[in-house]
Each structure stands twice: as structure tokens, then as C-alpha cells.
Amino acid sequence: MRTYRALPLLLMIVIACTLAAGQNPEAPPTTLAIGSATVSELKGEVSIRSPQGEPVAAQAGLVITPDSRIEIGKGSLLLSLADGSQMLVKSHSQVVLKAPDQDKGFSLELLIGKVVNKIEKRLGSTPSFRMGTPTAVITVRGTRFSVEVTKKQRTEVEVFEGLVEVEGIGTVGPPVMIRPGFSTWVERNRNPENPHEMQNLREGPEDRMRQPGIERDERDRERPDSRQGTKPDQENEPH
């Protein structure tokens, strides 16, 4: 008799559990929208404003949407893209995150300051990574390089790995290809300077980006003291 009385109660429990499972399905994995980036690390004075100009609290794990403006005082911010690429925004810099499938095809615009980039290799038909400055457009297929914009809006590009294509804005000259250990600079309405070999790789301890974040290594690599550069083959493609 007790067994029969317990059956309705057990049936109610089973139904309740089934309904609860239906109301709480397993959440699907989330992916970053095109042009978005995640804050991996930050320190010091970091200001972020949404595309509407509203302040956003900067914190690790924050997803920043395209057209957001980032300003760094005395500090730094490490951004990660969906493909594993990283962009380290240095002190006293201003950047605008962009959607590469819109407008000029930029992923980032550097207005002033310095950004160190570690871009994962783009294969097949995957679009190249492009970033803009007030005086230049930089295009890569996957490499490690830095871009700095001075107060006079001069763009300086240094390459640590791979090939980087640099083109002046408002000019008719061809772009130049920069290979590892070389640098160039671009001034307003002028073509990029012929690549020069760097006296040393000015990549500082916090410029070396490897997963899971910023690796602090006290040793800097040095190259022979030479300013004599050669212009790489224009027909090479960035990789």
C-alpha cells in the first residue's frame, strides 16, 4: 500500500526535474563578434569609452566592441583577438578598435603612442591584418612588429618577425616591405623611407607577448651596430 502511495510523489519529482532541465539548457560556447577584442591584462591608467562615448569600466575579461576608444595614461593594456592575436597598447597611447569587415578594413587605428602586435598567421583567403595611423597603413599576414605614432604624427614601424607592408596615406608611391631587424618611418603626405637595419631590437621586456599574457624577460636581443639598410624585394607578400 505504501508503495502505491509513493508513486505519485516520485512521478511529480521526475516531471519537475525534466522541466528544470529544459529551462536551463547548456549554454553554447561564445565567440567574439568581428572586430571585438578581449582585455587580457591591464595595469595603470586605462580609459575605455564605448562607440556612444560612454565610459566603460576597464577590467580583465571585458569584451570591447568595434569603434570603442581606448586611452592609456601611465600603464598598458593587452588585447586578444578571436584568432589568438595580441595587441599590447603602451603608455600614453590612444587607439580606436575597428571592425575589419567595414570601412577601410582596419582592425585598429593608432592615433598616438605605441602598440606592439603579435598577429597569428592568416592562411588561404583569410583577410590580412591591417591597421591605420594618421600617416600610414600597415598590412601583415602574420608576424610580430611594433608601430609608434609621435606627437608630430610621424609613424615608425619596427619588425621583429615576418614581413610587414607599409604604405603612406595620400601618396602615389608603392608600399615598402619590412623584414625582421629592419624599420621604416612615414611622415605626412610622404612615402615610407627605405628600410633601415635597427641598431638593436628596441623590443622591451614587456613587448614580448606570448600566451598566456605579457612575459617579463630582462634580456634584450641585440644586433650589430649598423644603419645601412637594403630595400627588400617588393614582390614578396607579407606572411
pLDDT per position as a tens digit, 41-56: 999 999 999 999 999 9
Please report whether residue 68 resides in a domain: yes
- CATH code where residue 99 lies: 2.60.120.1440
Please report whether residue 136 resides in a domain: yes
Give the span between the Cα atoms of 168 and 175, in whole angstroms: 7
pLDDT at 29: 45
Contact 139, 132 (CB under 8 A): no
Give the span between the Cα atoms of 2 and 69, in whole angstroms: 69
Please report whether residue 40 resides in a domain: yes
Please report whether residue 218 resides in a domain: no
Helix/strand/coil for 3: helix
For 171-225, what is each residue's pLDDT tens digit?
A: 888 899 999 999 999 999 999 999 999 976 555 545 555 443 444 433 343 344 4
pLDDT at 125: 84
Helix/strand/coil for 133: coil
Please report whether residue 161 resides in a domain: yes
Which range of residues forms the domain containing residue 38?
Answer: 32-211
Per the structure, how many domains does the chain have? 1
Q: Which residues in 6-39 are b (16+ Cβ under 10 Å) and which e?
A: eeeeeeeeeeeeeeeeeeeeeeeeeeeeebbbeb
pLDDT at 199: 77
Please report whether residue 5 resides in a domain: no
Residues of the chain with pLDDT under 50: 1, 3, 24-29, 205, 210-237, 239
Please report whether residue 59 resides in a domain: yes
Backbone angles phi, psi at 13, to 5 degrees: -65, -45
